[in-house]
């Protein structure tokens, strides 16, 4: 019986449960650990997750302010709402955004600019467009620190030589018109963001608006990512005969980072000691080891040779691609590091990551675990090995039918063009065109 046909004892769901048991406690410990603290304008803050509930020490807005450029008035000074004819008020002292609030002088209309503090005692704002004249002529602005200098009933607000020291209004506003009340956005002491919130730009803006300068965020898992194989060459180096460029380290590093992990990517040759020494030397600064390659039935299986004696279990999973898998805690030279070992074929590595690890990391990063599966009709007949849960890559055609690419796990170009993963469950050997097939959107 060939390796491909050998019945595998473990189902993908069983392996996923095993990985969750291994990685779950690692992520839980990170959630309980002392948070990282990032400045609210740190470029690395977007996408991080709040470690604690954050409350506002001030109300937002911090003071009553004007929603419009216009005049602050006391509604009572404008007379009865039903009365005919214009209401004329003397122009009082002006307030611009940034000025402290000043007392409102009874019987005046006080120019206020958008965002300016409402003069104390005024109870409505009339937009400048509704005033006559509908513009501000020369204004007297008390400026910073002038609040105490303004005496109620004192000097008129418009400059003495202003062309218009009075303003007329045709209508009477409702009390509160165009006033943005202190605390109407967020009362003092209110929760700005609960613990566990993934930070979006708007949330960052809200924190800054509340004066939060430093944000405690959840620690991210640090992954030591190792791609193995004597044939695996760094992109940019000359490609010797029999060798291939390293696709897996960049692919997996990008996928892990997109799922919220910090990644140290390293390439090692097929020497088991190179891997055990690496884990013993650098593993302590990481929470998780992820490897690609070196785990199947060949003569030089570096990862299996290094990590099986160190405590990692290698098994065949009833899936294709991704048949060979390793999972367990690797004990190397005093370092104990949870390890996941993916097969070397690039598609196998990518699909293994999507199935077993990325959903766990995404949840820790405040992201949805993955997209839900849905049923779509197949555009063509498909065969599948019945002893394997097959994961096929593909896309939807113009009619919304599923078009699959061939199953081989070296077909990275097809993977890069795929928009979906299709599931053909254990026990199914054939699906006819038109039959429903379970798919999930795929973004790795």
Ligand X SMILES: Nc1nc2c(c(=O)[nH]1)N[C@H]1C(S)=C(S)[C@@H](COP(=O)(O)OP(=O)(O)OC[C@H]3O[C@@H](n4cnc5c(N)ncnc54)[C@H](O)[C@@H]3O)O[C@H]1N2
Binding residues for ligand X restricted to 225-244, rule: CB under 6 A: 227, 229, 231-232, 244
For ligand MOO, give the closer residue by CB, 8 or 122.
8
Q: Which residues bind ligand MOO (CB under 6 A)?
A: 320-323, 343, 345, 348, 409
The entry of ligand X, ligand MOO, none near residue 134 (CB within 5 to 8 angstroms by kind) is none
Q: Is 294 in the site for ligand X (CB under 6 A)?
A: yes
Rule CB under 6 A: which of 354-413 touch ligand X?
A: 409
DSSP-assigned states of every residue in 72-87: EE-GGGG--TT--S-E
Range in contact with ligand X (rule: CB under 6 A) among 90-98, 127-135, 247-255, 424-432: 247-255
We find the least distance from the C-beta atom of residue 55 to ligand MOO, in angstroms, to be 49
Whichever of 78 and 318 has its CB closer to ligand MOO, that residue is: 318
What is the rounded CA–CA span in Å between residue 203 and residue 137?
40
Vertex 274: Cα angle to 269 and 279 (nearest 5):
125
- Shortest gap between Cβ of 224 and ligand X (angstroms)? 15
Q: Does 348 bind ligand X (CB under 6 A)?
A: yes
| SS3 state at 270 | coil
- CA 165/CA 90 separation, integer angstroms: 6
Using the minimum distance from each CB to ligand X, give the nearer residue, 346 or 359: 346
How far, in Å, are 43, 194, 354, 378, 396 from residue 420 at the CA level?
32, 33, 12, 13, 8
Torsion angles phi and psi, residue 198, rounded to 5: -75, 130
How is residue 267 written in tokens?
């390439």
Compare residues 197 and 320 and give the one whose CB is closer to ligand MOO.
Answer: 320
With CB under 5 to 8 Å by kind, the binding choice for 291 among ligand MOO, ligand X, none is: none
Asked if 297 interacts with ligand X (CB under 6 A), we say: yes
Q: Helix (H, G, I), strand (E, B), or coil: what is residue 241?
A: coil
The listed partner (ligand X, ligand MOO, none) that binds 260, CB under 5 to 8 Å by sort, is none
Compute the distance between CA of residue 252 and CA of residue 235 in angstroms, rounded to an integer: 15
CB of 396 to ligand MOO, least distance (A): 24
Query: For ligand X, which is the closer residue by CB, 1 or 80?
Result: 1
Q: What's phi and psi for 149, nearest 5 deg?
A: -80, -15
As given in the structure block, the two tokens for residue 109 are: 């209309």
> Contact between 295 and ligand X (CB under 6 A)?
yes
Q: What are phi and psi of 95, to 5 degrees?
A: -130, 130
Strand, helix or coil for residue 125: strand
- Is the Cβ–Cβ distance between 275 and 306 less than 8 Å? yes
CB of residue 349 to ligand MOO, shortest distance in Å: 8
Interface contacts to ligand X, rule CB under 6 A: 3, 227, 229, 231-232, 244, 246-249, 292-298, 301, 321, 323-324, 343-346, 348, 409
């Amino acid at each position: 019986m060939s390796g491909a046909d050998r019945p595998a004892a473990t189902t993908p769901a069983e392996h996923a449960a095993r990985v969750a048991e291994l990685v779950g406690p690692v992520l839980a410990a990170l959630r309980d650990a002392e948070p990282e603290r990032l400045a609210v304008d740190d470029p690395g803050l977007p996408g991080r997750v709040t470690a604690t509930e954050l409350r506002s020490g001030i109300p937002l807005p911090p003071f009553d302010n004007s929603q419009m450029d216009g005049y602050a008035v006391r509604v009572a000074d404008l007379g009865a709402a039903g009365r005919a004819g214009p209401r004329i008020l003397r122009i009082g002292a002006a307030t611009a955004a940034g000025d402290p609030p000043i007392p409102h002088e009874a019987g005046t209309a006080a120019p206020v600019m958008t965002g300016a503090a409402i003069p104390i005692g005024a109870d409505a704002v009339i937009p400048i467009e509704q005033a006559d004249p509908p513009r501000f002529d020369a204004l007297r602005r008390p400026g910073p620190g002038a609040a105490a200098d303004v005496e109620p009933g004192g000097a008129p607000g418009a400059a003495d030589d202003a062309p218009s020291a009075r303003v007329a209004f045709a209508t009477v506003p409702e009390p509160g018109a165009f006033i943005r009340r202190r605390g109407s956005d967020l009362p003092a002491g209110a929760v700005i963001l609960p613990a566990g919130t993934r930070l979006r730009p708007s949330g960052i803006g809200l924190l800054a608006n509340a004066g939060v300068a430093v944000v405690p965020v959840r620690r991210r898992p640090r992954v030591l990512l190792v791609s193995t194989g004597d044939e695996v060459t760094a992109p940019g180096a000359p490609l010797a005969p029999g060798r291939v460029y390293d696709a897996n380290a960049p692919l997996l590093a990008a996928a892990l980072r997109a799922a919220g992990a910090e990644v140290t990517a390293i390439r090692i040759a097929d020497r088991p000691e190179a891997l055990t020494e690496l884990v013993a030397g650098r593993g302590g600064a990481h929470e998780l080891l992820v490897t690609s390659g070196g785990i199947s039935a060949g003569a030089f299986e570096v990862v299996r040779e290094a990590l099986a004696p160190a405590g990692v279990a290698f098994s065949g999973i009833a899936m294709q691609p991704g048949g060979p898998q390793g999972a367990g805690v690797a004990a190397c030279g005093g370092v104990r590091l949870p390890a996941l070992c993916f097969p070397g074929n690039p598609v196998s590595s990518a699909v293994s990551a999507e199935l077993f690890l990325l959903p766990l990391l995404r949840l820790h990063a405040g992201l949805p675990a993955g997209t839900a599966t849905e049923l779509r009709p197949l555009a063509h007949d498909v065969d599948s090995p019945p002893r394997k849960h097959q994961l096929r890559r593909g896309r939807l055609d113009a009619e919304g039918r599923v078009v699959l690419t061939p199953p081989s796990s070296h077909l990275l170009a097809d993977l890069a063009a795929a928009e979906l993963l299709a599931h053909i469950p254990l026990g199914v050997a054939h699906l006819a065109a038109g039959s429903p097939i379970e798919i999930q959107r795929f973004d790795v």
